[in-house]
Amino acid sequence: GTWHLALGTWHLALGTWHLMYTSSMSPFRNRRILLGVSGSIAAYKSADLASGLRQAGAQVDVILTAAARQFVTPLTFQSVTGRPAFTDEDLWGEAGHVLHIGLAEGADLMVVAPATANTLARLAHGLADNLLAVSALANRAPLLLAPAMDGGMWDHPATRKNVEILGDRGALFVGPESGHLASGQQAVGRMAEPDTILGAIRMALGAGGPLVGVHVVVTAGGTQEAIDPVRRITNRSSGKQGFALAQAALDLGAKVTLIAAPTGLSAPYGVRREDVTSAAEMLAAVRESIRQADALVMAAAVADFRPAKLATDKLKKGDGVPQIELEPTPDILATIRSEKGEGHNLSVVAGFAAESQDLIPNAQAKLDSKGLDLIVANDILAPDAGFGVDSNRVTLLYADGRQEALPLLGKDEVAARVMAAVAELLER
Ligand code: C5P
């Protein structure tokens, strides 16, 4: 009975720790975003953006221009941010003469979404005739702009020049995208979707991280090896862990190349993505991208064998049961290890060991034989870890003999821990 109770308490403690760990991991957590909303029909989408930011843990202060209020209300934003939303009336209100300073102070990022042609002009020329503009002047954090306007206005020389001025001053842009506009036109001018803007904000928040100036190459997904024009040998890798690693590297400020076998996942905003199918294609892509890289994290489940011959025509049922002869694929990690100093100068190489038995000894053997700095040992038979699911249970094994068993975590948290380990190894 006592033993049970103790075990229960221990479980509880672990659960709490896990929760704390989860919430402190979000790159949005406790970050202050100043969100300016100007007058475009796209303003209604900014409510989604503000809501997404808050759900991710950010503190969002919203400023609406007079024109924005024609499309949405301060209440819309107050409802999703849980904080007052400000308008020009507040500029002239009781705390008026210091409001913009207070809003700008301590902001980690100022975002203007949608940014109309008029607001871009105001910001480019340092005007201070509304609360949004005066707050932008007081702001010292990075500025991210999500333009929205009709195609002709975006193309106008005045707007082009304003965008150039803002870009030269260090402002970041997300969008505008091409597509249907309120005028009925199909052109460039649509505000980027809220999810895309969230990605751009995440990238901007990571830009001051410990991996600034570092290029990380990540591989993800399961390769496919063709049997004939329609059939392939593949594996159950979902690519989720690899894509999460790419995001985690971005969160630390790295430049990231993601070499992806087929997954159906969309890449995090800001990565350079390269799609490949087979192990041979992945090897070629890895070789090319590591020329200028500092770290390689091989999370992909690369096929170990492939059909020795590719049938040019679809195999016919009538021809009987086919005998498919297999041959080994190139081992990417082994190959690039032998090319160190010639094709690349990677400082850190990390691999994964997906095992169904003797996890740690097998992972240790791979760490040694592939000459890795770090291997992530992954028990793929546990129901809550490995292929397809969103959680993972891994142990990190280092070349210097250190071992670190992590509890059951979300794949994004595992990714953050692995990238923190890579960053630490890079620092040495
Ligand atoms: O030897 P095994 O396939 O179990 O090793 C797994 C690790 O090696 C993973 O990091 C995987 O991406 C990598 N690998 C590779 N080339 C292969 C097979 C696996 O680089 N052909």
Kindly indicate the confidence band of residue 381, based on its pLDDT and cuts at 50, 70 and 90: confident
Closest ligand 1 atom to residue 333 Cα is: 20
Closest CA to ligand 1's atom 2? 353
Q: How far apart are CA 130 and CA 294, in angstroms?
A: 46
Q: Which residues line ligand 1 (CB under 6 A)?
A: 279, 298, 300, 302, 304, 329, 331-333, 351-353, 366
Instruction: Report the separation in Å between the CA atom of 322 and the middle of ligand 1, taken as the mean of its atom positions.
Output: 28
Q: How far apart are CA 371 and CA 343, in angstroms?
A: 17
- The SS3 assignment for 280 reads helix
Closest ligand 1 atom to residue 351 Cα is: 10
Closest CA to ligand 1's atom 10? 351
Mean pLDDT of 176-184: 90
From 237, 245, 331, mutation site for ligand 1 pocket: most ligand atoms within 8 A of C-beta: 331
Closest ligand 1 atom to residue 304 Cα is: 21
Kindly indicate the confidence band of residue 379, based on its pLDDT and cuts at 50, 70 and 90: confident
Instruction: Report the separation in Å between the CA atom of 385 and the middle of ligand 1, taken as the mean of its atom positions.
Output: 19
Distances (CA, A) of 125 to 87, 165, 175, 186: 21, 9, 21, 29
Instruction: Report the separation in Å between the CA atom of 279 and the middle of ligand 1, taken as the mean of its atom positions.
Output: 10
Instruction: Report the separation in Å between the CA atom of 57 and the middle of ligand 1, taken as the mean of its atom positions.
Output: 36
From 349, 356, 370, 372, mutation site for ligand 1 pocket: most ligand atoms within 8 A of C-beta: 370
Closest ligand 1 atom to residue 329 Cα is: 21
Instruction: Report the separation in Å between the CA atom of 211 and the middle of ligand 1, taken as the mean of its atom positions.
Output: 25
Instruction: Report the separation in Å between the CA atom of 271 and the middle of ligand 1, taken as the mean of its atom positions.
Output: 23
From 219, 283, 333, mutation site for ligand 1 pocket: most ligand atoms within 8 A of C-beta: 333
Task: Collect all residues with Cβ–Cβ distance below 8 Å to 188 and sequence separation of at least 6.
Answer: 151, 154, 155, 176, 177, 178
Query: What is the b/e burial string over 365-403, where b = at least 16 CB atoms within 10 angstroms of the residue's CB?
Result: ebbeebebbbbbbbbbeeeebbbeeebbbbbbbbeeeee
The runs of H, that is alpha helices, within 238-389 are 240-251, 279-289, 332-338, 359-369
Q: What is the pLDDT of residue 8?
A: 36
Closest ligand 1 atom to residue 352 Cα is: 10
Q: What is the pLDDT of residue 99?
A: 78
Kindly indicate the confidence band of residue 96, based on its pLDDT and cuts at 50, 70 and 90: low
Closest CA to ligand 1's atom 21? 331
Task: Note whether 91 and 99 are within 8 A (CB).
Answer: yes
Closest ligand 1 atom to residue 330 Cα is: 21
Classify residue 13 as exposed, middle or buried by CB count within 10 Å of its CB (0-12, 13-18, 19+).
exposed
Task: Please state the φ and ψ torsions of residue 162, each to the nearest 5 degrees.
Answer: -65, -40
Closest CA to ligand 1's atom 18? 302
Q: What is the pLDDT of residue 7?
A: 39
Q: What percent of the chain has pLDDT over 90?
A: 81
Closest ligand 1 atom to residue 279 Cα is: 21
Instruction: Report the separation in Å between the CA atom of 37 and the middle of ligand 1, taken as the mean of its atom positions.
Output: 48
Instruction: Report the separation in Å between the CA atom of 394 and the middle of ligand 1, taken as the mean of its atom positions.
Output: 16
Q: Is the pLDDT of residue 59 over 80?
A: yes
Q: What percent of the chain has pLDDT over 70?
A: 93
Span 343-366, pLDDT tens digits: 899 999 999 999 889 999 999 999
CA 388 to chain centre: 19
Of 19-28, 255-264, 276-285, the one with minimum mean pLDDT is 19-28
Span 276-330, pLDDT tens digits: 999 999 999 999 999 999 999 999 999 999 999 999 999 998 999 999 999 999 9
Closest CA to ligand 1's atom 4? 353
Distances (CA, A) of 392 to 379, 395, 408, 412: 9, 10, 6, 9
Closest CA to ligand 1's atom 19? 302
Per DSSP, what are the bridge partners of residue 394?
Answer: 378
Q: What is the pLDDT of residue 14?
A: 40
Instruction: Report the separation in Å between the CA atom of 243 and the middle of ligand 1, taken as the mean of its atom positions.
Output: 17
Catalytic residues: 235
Span 125-178, pLDDT tens digits: 999 999 999 999 999 999 999 999 998 999 999 999 999 999 999 999 999 999
In terms of Cα–Cα distance, which of 252, 40, 70, 250 is closest to 145?
40
Q: Tell me which residue has tokens 């109770």.
A: 5
Kindly indicate the confidence band of residue 19, based on its pLDDT and cuts at 50, 70 and 90: very low
DSSP character string of 294-323 = SEEEE-SB--SEEESS--SSPPPGGG-S--
